[in-house]
Chain A
Amino acid sequence: MQFMLLFSRQGKLRLQKWYVPLSDKEKKKITRELVQTVLARKPKMCSFLEWRDLKVVYKRYASLYFCCAIEHQDNELITLEIIHRYVELLDKYFGSVCELDIIFNFEKAYFILDEFLLGGEPQETSKKTVLKAIEQADLLQENVDFQMRLFAGTVCESPNNPRCSVEH
């Protein structure tokens, strides 16, 4: 996968993830062009389109469009399900996710994506495992004491690891 874009029906970009190096200018150009192309399509049309030398796979969930650009040899249908799995992850994490969740917690949306896809390829497709990783991170934040215990007891192998002991 070369990049993933999330944008609203009004064309507002909500999330962008680039897996190939591009200049900011080029990114903005691609985004503008693609958002326009996808928004112009009618509901019953097919979810794939050829765009430049890439294939674009997109799907609309409520007010949000999820749009991935993949290479020629990549599989369109499985990409569609990558999108769906990501939506499921967001949904599970936020509890019936809506566009506002992604706006206000954009950093979380990025973290979840990073656990699921890395470098444009699936890293972990198990929903449970991905959510566990994210929730663990939340726990680390919520309770520092708990975090200390967790680090010292289970996560860190060495109790003397300075990273774990120097905390407040």
Chain B
Amino acid sequence: MPAVSKGDGMRGLAVFISDIRNCKSKEAEIKRINKELANIRSKFKGDKALDGYSKKKYVCKLLFIFLLGHDIDFGHMEAVNLLSSNKYTEKQIGYLFISVLVNSNSELIRLINNAIKNDLSSRNPTFMCLALHCIANVGSREMAEAFASEIPRILVAGDTMDSVKQSAALCLLRLYKTSPDLVLMGEWTSRVVHLLNDQHMGVVTAAISLITCLSQKNPDEFKTCVSLAVSRLSRIVSSASTDLQDYTYYFVPAPWLSCKLLRLLQCYPPPEDGAVKGRLVECLETILNKAQEPPKSKKVQHSNAKNAILFEAISLIIHYDSEPNLLVRACNQLGQFLQHRETNLRYLALESMCTLASSEFSHEAVKTHIETVINALKTERDVSVRQRAADLLYAMCDRSNAKQIVAEMLSYLETADYSIREEMVLKVAILAEKYAVDYSWYVDTILNLIRIAGDYVSEEVWYRVIQIVINRDDVQGYAAKTVFEALQAPACHENMVKVGGYILGEFGNLIAGDPRSSPLVQFNLLHSKFHLCSVPTRALLLSAYIKFINLFPETKATIQEVLRCDSQIRNSDVELQQRAVEYLKLSSIASTDVLATVLEEMPPFPERESSILAKLKKKKGPGAVSVPDLEDGKREGGELNGGGERGPDSAAMSASNASTPSPSADLLGMRSAAPMSAAPTSAGSLLVDVFSEAGPAAPSAAVNDDGFLRFVCKNNGVLFENQLLQIGIKSEYRQNLGRMYLFYGNKTSVQFASFTTTVSCPGELQSHILSILRLNVQTKPVEPVVEGGAQIQQVLNIECLTDFSEAPLLNIKFRYGGALQNLSLKLPVTINKFFQPTEMTSHDFFQRWKQLSQPQQEAQKIFKANHSMDTEVLKAKLLGLGTALLDDVDPNPENYVCAGVIQTKGQQVGCLLRLEPNGQAQMYRLTLRCSKDSVSLRLCELLAQQF
């Protein structure tokens, strides 16, 4: 135990902590803790009132136990008691406990808020600060509600002590972050901005964080802060290192405040007022100059603080992007840091230069450092620094240096860390595509990429190379030749086989003239890889084979032989088997003309955002991917992306463009992106099964109610299914309550992200004049991610408040491969679900039937049978409806009569039903009489579609 125990020593606590530290095992520790918890519990429950000191000690022990990672479920009340102690340290411990173990018990919150209120009005600055710290630490909505209006007053009041002002400013900041709607600055705005002028540096330091946050959200209201910030900054920057006394940090005047001021200015465009702007430029120049001065101290703290300001100044210069002189100076300064011995500075310089590379004024200056950056990529020992170097190379890339940069990145890939390979691959693929002047270089690059880092080449990358080759006929021959050569390698990556299969299937004819790559040689080469490949690749190869039959009739016999062998035609994988069978049939039945039409060369893909760019954006978040943009304007139209793949709406474009190949798409599946030229032919229909693996369904929010009607008479089953998603339901009802289980199954192999579901009761229910809620549906949020092949479950609790006719709507949103999917379904909650069957005699039935004889109580429909009129089927449906099926009631045994009571929260609705089938005419007459007219109508509507 250390001797040091300043202030209040709590001996018991120190002993306890030593005990814990001396525990030899986790079990011993838990045992000791449980003993202590029992002890504390008994003290708290005991008859003897505890004095403040003991209470403080025990609360502190609980806190320690909690911070060790154990759960604490008591002691909150004792901690709250400490809040009203007059002893500072007791109060302090109470507040600490409350801040760390925030509790949502509303009674406690009321007590805590009361204690805080007392301390805030105590006019004792130390108590006020404690209370403000607590609010800032907890920052809950409840606290915002209680104090958001009070704190601005404390902050700007003339008689508030400086230390209290500091706490109040940051406390307000925290509340603003949690509940911006509750923090209304309004009348206080100008006085808060003027805190920038406060004499006390501490007050300015605290206030500036608040002002920056408020300015970001309401720039117009706070714009007067710009000139104040500039003058404050100017005073600090020009002060001697001793002027600011304790606010000078290792000879750097007020580094925290300076950084924050520069940060605040980044919320605004350059000042319009010439004088203010001049002063600011002067400050920025001074900061750049200081970087060149010899250091005033050798301590790293000195250089860190100084450079922190420098980097923030450079950020501001980049943000303005209007002062060429400053931009180039900034770039030169960063260039020096690129070779600094401090890893931290090299890292930051690389990072900061990335943004400089995107400015037209400094792009060229950044490019001059290319060798240093390449060197960093090769020699830096820290992977995070190498990552920054790769980012910078990517950012500084343009037409002039693309070949060099891509080559360097490719060679780095051979040894790159696994953690950054995938991103590097994407970057190389993007740069290669973007700056491809001749496409043979592009094809070479991508094939190299697959060769070097095949495992990290995502589908997007190899899809893209295929799209490009298909769209550009000048490169097709070269591509065919190159993949053919690449496939010669004894071990080649499966992705290479995919690309090879696809390209040879399409363009193998272009190299077939050379006897070294004759059709049969091509086929044998591909087929030699077949058995080493996974199912999707094999499926793709089978499609390539059928294309070969079309391209080279002389290979037909060999290929048919392959298709016919047991391992294909009886393959245990249904997809492979189906392909083999269908292709075999297609090749033997269809005439050459039909075959040629079905297996025509792929039409060009529509131009769209590069799918790999979209992928990189997804990986790094939008905005983080600044593809070097400078040359966009100068690019000739011949380039493949068009120019319009970027811009803020590009994400939306890709979302609405449903033709991005689905991950399971392959040779034929990719056709879903292109017009289905094969469909009209007779043989085409044979292939529809194979073709039908279309891309993801287009986003659609149109309400789908196909499934809905199938559930009127049953409770379980599949509600909805498309290529991506299956929704199953199970439901049970009792009285006026129901519970529905929804099962969402991801049918793909790719995860659904941002998966959300909402259930709403539609218009009619809520816009009722008296806004009577008819149906209460409660859900718990679902997991936001549904992994490929996985299923998640959601439970709905349903309460029928009164009778209703509109079903609740289920809305499902999720992202699938970058595209937003939106789906609305009617949930099969219908009024008949709340039926209680009622048994009655014939006499009773007819008596009640007569009682319900008012014309509006009856609803009747005569309709044609849509389904089987078989007795057992009908009986099953009527029982599924929820009513009692009454025998021997109707004089005509062909007819069915049912009775039931619908249970709602407010009332019960008696219902009688009579269904009269006419087998000869295939018609029904359905009659309903209910004690409530609207129910008769609704049930009649629902049931008329069931039989």
Q: Are B256's CB and A110's CB within 8 A?
A: no
A106 at the interface (CB under 8 A from B): yes
| Chain A to chain B contacts (Cβ below 8 Å), 18 pairs | A46-B385, A47-B344, A77-B307, A78-B259, A106-B64, A107-B63, A108-B6, A110-B96, A118-B132, A119-B136, A123-B206, A124-B205, A126-B247, A133-B129, A137-B7, A137-B88, A161-B122, A163-B127
Q: Are A101's CB and B209's CB within 8 A?
A: no
Bits for B865-887, please: 1 = Cβ < 8 Å to A, else 0: 00000000000000000000000
Q: Are B163's CB and A133's CB within 8 A?
A: yes
B532 at the interface (CB under 8 A from A): no
List which A62-119 residues lie within 8 A (CB) of chain B. 73, 75-78, 80-82, 84-85, 93-95, 98, 100-101, 103-108, 110-111, 114, 118-119
Q: Are A161's CB and B123's CB within 8 A?
A: yes
Binds A, one of B170-178, B186-194, B428-436, B663-671: B170-178
A28 at the interface (CB under 8 A from B): yes
How far does the Cβ of B781 sit from chain A's closest Cβ, in whole Å? 14
By secondary structure, the B interface counts as helix
Q: Which residue of B lies closest to A166 (CB)?
A: B86
In this complex, the member of B93, B137, B346 whose beta carbon has the largest number of chain A beta carbons within 10 angstroms is B137
List which B110-136 residues lie within 8 A (CB) of chain A. 122-127, 129, 132-133, 136
Q: Are B259's CB and A108's CB within 8 A?
A: no
Q: Are A121's CB and B173's CB within 8 A?
A: yes
Q: How far is the CA of A153 from the CA of B896 in the complex (A)?
A: 95
Q: Are B21's CB and A103's CB within 8 A?
A: yes
B751 at the interface (CB under 8 A from A): no
A141 at the interface (CB under 8 A from B): yes
Q: Are B133's CB and A114's CB within 8 A?
A: yes
B26 at the interface (CB under 8 A from A): no
B238 at the interface (CB under 8 A from A): no
Q: Chain A contact residues (Cβ within 8 angstroms of B): what range? A: 35 or more
Check A101/B2 contact, CB under 8 A, given A48-B347, A77-B305: yes
A49 at the interface (CB under 8 A from B): yes
Q: Are B246's CB and A81's CB within 8 A?
A: no
Bits for B325-344, please: 1 = Cβ < 8 Å to A, else 0: 00000000000000000011
Q: How far is the CA of A166 from the CA of B385 in the complex (A)?
A: 61
Q: Which residue of B lies closest to A45 (CB)?
A: B382
Q: Which residue of B lies closest to A130 (CB)?
A: B202
Q: How far is the CA of A137 from the CA of B124 in the complex (A)?
A: 13
B14 at the interface (CB under 8 A from A): yes
How far does the Cβ of B394 sit from chain A's closest Cβ, in whole Å? 15
List which A127-147 residues lie within 8 A (CB) of chain B. 127-129, 133, 136-138, 140-142, 147
Q: Of the candidates A21, A46, A111, A158, which one forms a contact with B382 in the assembled complex, judged by CB atoms under 8 Å apart?
A: A46
Q: Are A111's CB and B4's CB within 8 A?
A: no
Q: Of the candidates B96, B124, B266, B305, which one forms a contact with A151 in the assembled complex, judged by CB atoms under 8 Å apart?
A: B124
Q: Which residue of B lies closest to A139 (CB)?
A: B7
Q: How far is the CA of A110 from the CA of B123 in the complex (A)?
A: 24
How far does the Cβ of B551 sit from chain A's closest Cβ, in whole Å? 49
Q: Are B2's CB and A140's CB within 8 A?
A: no
B interface list, Cβ under 8 A from A: 1-2, 4-8, 14, 17, 21, 60, 63-64, 67, 69, 86-89, 92-93, 96, 100, 122-127, 129, 132-133, 136-137, 139-140, 163, 166-167, 170-171, 173-174, 177-178, 201-202, 205-206, 209, 246-247, 249, 254-257, 259, 263, 266, 301, 304-305, 307-308, 311-312, 343-344, 346-348, 381-382, 384-385, 387, 621
Q: Of the candidates B17, B69, B348, which one forms a contact with A28 in the assembled complex, judged by CB atoms under 8 Å apart?
A: B69
List which A17-68 residues lie within 8 A (CB) of chain B. 19, 21, 28, 42, 44-50, 53
Q: Are A107's CB and B93's CB within 8 A?
A: yes
Check A75/B308 contact, CB under 8 A, given A95-B4, A129-B202: yes
Q: Are B308's CB and A125's CB within 8 A?
A: no
Q: Of the candidates B6, B301, B381, which one forms a contact with A93 in the assembled complex, judged by CB atoms under 8 Å apart?
A: B6
Q: Are A100's CB and B2's CB within 8 A?
A: yes
Q: How far is the CA of A78 from the CA of B266 in the complex (A)?
A: 17
Check A44/B343 contact, CB under 8 A, given A78-B308, A126-B201: yes
Q: How far is the CA of A76 from the CA of B305 in the complex (A)?
A: 10
Q: How far is the CA of A127 from the CA of B495 in the complex (A)?
A: 60
Q: Are A123's CB and B308's CB within 8 A?
A: no
How far does the Cβ of B510 sit from chain A's closest Cβ, in whole Å? 46
Q: Are A124's CB and B123's CB within 8 A?
A: no
What 19 additional pairs, Cβ within 8 angstroms, besides A44-B343, A80-B308, A141-B88? A28-B69, A75-B263, A80-B344, A81-B255, A95-B4, A104-B2, A118-B133, A119-B171, A121-B173, A121-B209, A123-B206, A124-B202, A124-B206, A125-B256, A127-B246, A141-B89, A161-B122, A164-B124, A166-B86
How far does the Cβ of A88 sit from chain B's closest Cβ, in whole Å? 9
Q: Are B137's CB and A114's CB within 8 A?
A: yes
